[in-house]
Amino acid sequence: MSLHVPSMGWRPVQGVPCLRPMSAGIGSSNQNVTHNSSLYKKPFEESFEETPLLVAVLTYMGYGILTIFGYLRDFLRHWSIEKCQVAREKEEQKDFVPLYQDFENFYTRNLYMRIRDNWNRPICSVPGAKMDLVESVSHDFNWTFEHTGRVVKDVINMGSYNYLGFAENNGACADAAIEATEKYGVGVASSRCEMGNLDIHEELERLVARFLGVESSMAFGMGFATNSMNIPALTGKGCLILSDELNHASLVLGARLAGSTIRVFKHNNMQSLEKLLRDAIAHGQPRTHRPWKKILIVVEGIYSMEGSIVRLPEVVALKKRYKAYLYLDEAHSIGALGPNGRGVVDYFGLDPKDVDIMMGTFTKSFGAAGGYIGGKKELIDYLRCHSHSALYAISMSPPVAQQIISSMKSIMGEDGTTLGADRLRQLSENTTYFRRKLREMGFIIYGNDDSPVVPMMLYMPAKIGAFGREMLKRNIGTVVVGFPATPIIESRARFCVSAAHTREMLDTALEATDEVGDLLQLKYSRREQPLPSLGWMAEESLLQD
Amino acid sequence: MTSQFKIATFYLYRMRQSWTTYLKELLEIVHYFYFAPAYHLILEGILILWIIRLLFSKTYKLHETYKLTEKEKEDLIEEWQPDPLVPPVSKDHPSLSYDVVTGHKITINGKECINFASFNFLGLLDNERVKQKALASLKKYGVGTCGPRGFYGTFDVHLELESRLAKFMKTEEAIIYSYGFATIASAIPAYSKRGDIIFVDEAACFSIQKGLQASRSFIKYFKHNDMEDLERMLKEQELEDQKNPRKARVTRKFIVVEGLYINTADICPLPELVTLKYKYKVRIFLEESMSFGVLGEHGRGVTEHFGVNIDDIDLISANMENAVASIGGFCCGRSFVIDHQRLSGQGYCFSASLPPMLAAAAIEALNIMEEDPEIFTVLRGKCKHVHKALQGIPGLKLVGVQSAPALHLQLERSSGSRDSDMQLLRTIVEYCLERRVALTLARYLEKEERFLPSPSIRVVVTVEQTEEDVHNAVSCIQEAASAVLK
């Protein structure tokens, strides 16, 4: 058999192997390199600008100071000088083995608690382009929150994964969901294999298969569980799972429950993946040296914390060459990428048949809940009898299923309108615009130019809280994330662009970001600003330097 | 006296001797070496070298066998043939021929049936009030939440449901999950880690088993509802702990049980468990998916059924998919325990939150349960009635206690193989389906269950079934049994 991809034949790693700054962040490469451009139909632009050294040092110092103060506060709490607000174990159980080790909650107590108000902000409206927040205040430094009873109206929502704007309480989708509720009720009270198989589920599955361009599909009630309950059905002992280091917790859990060997490759790094594949096949299983039964590569479409897009053409080439199977989690990319909204396969213009297991969720672009798996008929038939979810979990709520059917039909243009197509175009325009503007302002923006997930680097722990609060003051809801969701120094804010955002909303958000960016000195980028007219060409020339 | 012996005595005595004698002895040794025969010295020299060689050489050479040339690797890669992704499934596998069920008057393949299969204990699936509340919520919030709880996925409805559940259960705090299966499966690994010990009942349901697996703790299975067996294990562990008190100080211990077992339809002896808990200092996690909204005067589950103080149970988890007839699950207990899941419960942190309309439906279901606790008395009556009526069907054995709303009918005598048993039971189910009684086989993943329950027909009692329905169903099953099981 000849090599499918001669350019990818094995050779020692040369050139710029490091595709993204590792947790140390310093001194790694500046730009992702398209090293197999022949596989791509359009330029694959992804950047992870290096952390400036000074910023890195200051960030570590910040955590150092927080830790010292944390110990000090713990000391004061221990001697009851400071009031301890942590819930205590009840008296009768004080002599039990402690439920938590002391250090386990150190981070929560001393770091997270200070900026806790940035998360779990309750909302009381549709999570659409604008949302209403329940105003809550804390009188005890975030230990408890009190709702004032007032509502913060019309906050621009840059946090929800509402990529196509299908989170709506009126319109065709909502009407259909209302009808479904009236017909079926909300619950099912049985599993798919027992008495919970409704015709609406079968309709949904046929539609999903058609949408994805695969033979068959199966829908599940929860996106997280779609991963964690189905990977164990596909692999087991004697199998190898090759997993991207930044894969979502559900994939990691699924792989762990499967009982297979798990090896991790560097994020989106094809050399790392190929090396693992070659070594795995050549050496077989550890200790027994039997050949692996099968190898499953697990990747995501869009990585939600990085905004990067998987190098799918290369992964597919590798998988074909090494006869591995490919599990693609399109939680964020389905509906959000590709000219037809069919995810990352559509985006790269590949054949869905090249991906063995197409997984995705309905939570994001479809404004519903749950997940699916699509693929060959044999695969789905097997899952119907062996998926944990099919036998033990209650099937999907009918109105949720209906919401997916309606929104998916709209994306496919089967509702007889161009609404879906308009949304897809709008999302892509909004993404390009928003990313370009932020970059021009001098922020460090991670990820692929086409990804609607836009991570903006904050780095320092104090700025996590400050950014979230300052933005909310300006009526913009953003998500801020820090350790442990990101490497310790790479705290960031994350914007999720939606098709529902109007240009005015984006401009308001950008203006506020600009203002807060100046206030908090967040404009870290040292990159020469590309001239707007040159677009990606300018970045290409940066590469050649 | 030979020189060797002298050397040996030198080493033995060396420590006792003073510094000067030590020097003197050393000189003496040199002296002996000097006069020792040459062959002797050579032999000893060789022996010493041999020992050094043995010490520093490996028994086999790893590198020589491991290093493959690129060519060899290439050949191996060409040669390797993976297993198919999934083994083929035979066409007649029961899961593939799904019944199509429409609506809740249960229309199966176009035939309207009485539902004896869905866990719709309180009949809330089709409740108009629940539907209206869900619709109102849908009109306000839309369907999906488009985010996890942390990132703008917390709705006021979620907070309301959590405080309502806590109030209903009379606990400090409750936390909701968006999927019933993920609730206990996420809760267990949030507390129990590698090295901890979990004592668990053999009949524990599949989601508990998955939670145990995810926790990577030591799992010890005790015989179903056998408190003596559990105490024996706890005692063993206590002895073990005494041997290694340092390890015991950091090894958390848990007992995981179900309130009402889905697989065996019987109730755990909770008061005894609580005694054991304090005696051996083990925490109790209780999974109440089957008993929540069923047992107890107010439907609070097995704690109320036994009158056990709910604070003695460290964590209670249940789904809102059976009695509550919505979707999702919850955990409740003391804030000290529950709050930890908000950052450590994987299914809570990393999953999109529960659609608000489903939370609203659950709130309305709680309202109904609180307003009219009579409903539980009705359910108990029906359970008792069905339990009595199903006794003594020839060839079938009823498994479960009187107060259980989901019973199992097993074959009295197995035909020898699991497959043919299943086939027999399936024939009974189909016979009843023909006569408009919807039953189902209890389905399990046969290869994955830790202790696979015997094949059975599930019979679910709901408050909606009339005496006539029950009578019909029982006579149907009786006829079928006498026709099939000769």
User: Domain residues of chain B, as ranges?
Assistant: 18-57, 100-121+374-484, 128-371
Chain A touched by B281 (CB under 8 Å): yes
* Residue linked to tokens 């999570």: A127
Chain A touched by B219 (CB under 8 Å): no
Chain A touched by B309 (CB under 8 Å): no
Quick one: closest CA in A to B429, which residue?
A: A194
Please report residues of A whose CB lies closer than 8 A to that of B85. Answer: 234, 294, 325, 356-357, 378-379
For domain B128-371, give its CATH number from 3.20.20.70, 3.40.1190.20, 3.40.640.10, 3.30.1330.10: 3.40.640.10
Q: What is the mean pLDDT of residues A314-338?
A: 95
- Other CB atoms closer than 10 Å to residue A206's CB: what's the count? 13
Angstrom distance (rounded) from CA A218 to CA A206: 9
pLDDT, residue B98, reads: 62
| Distance (Å) from the alpha carbon of B11 to chain A's nearest alpha carbon | 45
Tokens of B296: 């107890």
* DSSP letter, residue B153: I
Chain B touched by A282 (CB under 8 Å): yes
pLDDT, residue A102, reads: 74
pLDDT, residue A35, reads: 56
A195 pLDDT band, cuts 50/70/90, is confident
Angstrom distance (rounded) from CA B115 to CA A188: 12
Please report residues of A whose CB lies closer than 8 A to that of B135. Answer: 178, 181-182
Quick one: closest CA in B to A221, which residue?
A: B179
In the three-class reduction of DSSP (H, G, I as helix; E, B as strand; rest coil), residue B232 is classed as: helix
A436 pLDDT band, cuts 50/70/90, is very high
Instruction: Decide if pLDDT at B106 tops 90.
Output: no
The total number of residues shown for chain A amounts to 545
Angstrom distance (rounded) from CA A254 to CA A249: 8
ipTM for the whole complex: 0.89
**Percent of chain B clearing pLDDT 70 (strictly above):** 91
Quick one: closest CA in B to A174, which residue?
A: B142
A327 pLDDT band, cuts 50/70/90, is very high
- B152, B287, B457: which to substitute to probe chain A, counting the most A Cβ within 10 Å? B152
Query: Radius of gyration (Cα) for chain B, nearest Å?
Result: 33
pLDDT, residue A231, reads: 94
* DSSP letter, residue A112: I
Please report residues of B whose CB lies closer than 8 A to that of A183. Answer: 103
Quick one: closest CA in B to A218, which residue?
A: B96
| Distance (Å) from the alpha carbon of B40 to chain A's nearest alpha carbon | 45
Angstrom distance (rounded) from CA A466 to CA A480: 10
Angstrom distance (rounded) from CA B83 to CA B187: 35
Instruction: Compare CB distances from B350 to A198, A224, A281 and report the shortest one's residue.
Output: A224
Please report residues of A whose CB lies closer than 8 A to that of B78. Answer: 1
Instruction: Compare CB distances from A1 to B78, B87, B458 and report the shortest one's residue.
Output: B78
Instruction: Decide if pLDDT at A133 tops 80.
Output: yes
- Please enumerate in sequence order all residues whose Cβ is within 8 A of that of A48, keeping only pairs 6 or more positions apart, or say none: A19, A20, A21, A31, A32, A306, A308, A446, A447
Angstrom distance (rounded) from CA B249 to CA A55: 42
How far apart, in Å, are the Cα atoms of B96 and each of A192, A218, A227? Answer: 10, 12, 21
pLDDT, residue A540, reads: 42
Query: Cis omega (within 30 of 0) on the bond before A484?
Result: yes
- Please enumerate in sequence order all residues whose Cβ is within 8 A of that of B77, keeping only pairs 6 or more positions apart, or say none: A278, A281, A282, A322
Name the more confident of A84 and B100.
A84
Dihedral of alpha carbons B331, B335, B341, B342, sign: positive
Please state, rounded to an integer, the average pLDDT across all residues of chain B. Answer: 89
pLDDT, residue A3, reads: 36
A24 pLDDT band, cuts 50/70/90, is very low
Chain B touched by A112 (CB under 8 Å): yes
* Chain B (75-104) residues lying within 8 Å, Cβ to Cβ, of chain A: 76-78, 80-89, 93-96, 98-104
Chain A touched by B425 (CB under 8 Å): no
Quick one: closest CA in A to B290, which residue?
A: A189
* Residue linked to tokens 């199903």: B390
Please report residues of B whose CB lies closer than 8 A to that of A394. Answer: 180-181, 319, 321, 327
Instruction: Compare CB distances from A126 to B141, B282, B339 and report the shortest one's residue.
Output: B141
What dotted CATH number matches B100-121+374-484? Answer: 3.90.1150.10
- Other CB atoms closer than 10 Å to residue A41's CB: what's the count? 12
Beta-carbon pairs below 8 A across chains A and B: 365
Name the most confidently modeled range: A138-142, A316-320, B10-14: A316-320
Say if residues A51 and A489 touch (Cβ distance below 8 Å): yes
- Other CB atoms closer than 10 Å to residue A545's CB: what's the count? 7
pTM of the predicted structure, to 2 decimals: 0.87
Instruction: Decide if pLDDT at B441 tops 60.
Output: yes
Q: What is the mean pLDDT of residues A456-485?
A: 92
Query: Taking CB atoms and an 8 Å limit, are B142 and A168 in contact across chains?
Result: yes
Tally the C-alpha atoms within 13 A of residue A464's C-alpha that lie toward its C-beta.
Answer: 27
**Percent of chain A clearing pLDDT 70 (strictly above):** 90
Angstrom distance (rounded) from CA B437 to CA B422: 18
pLDDT, residue A537, reads: 44
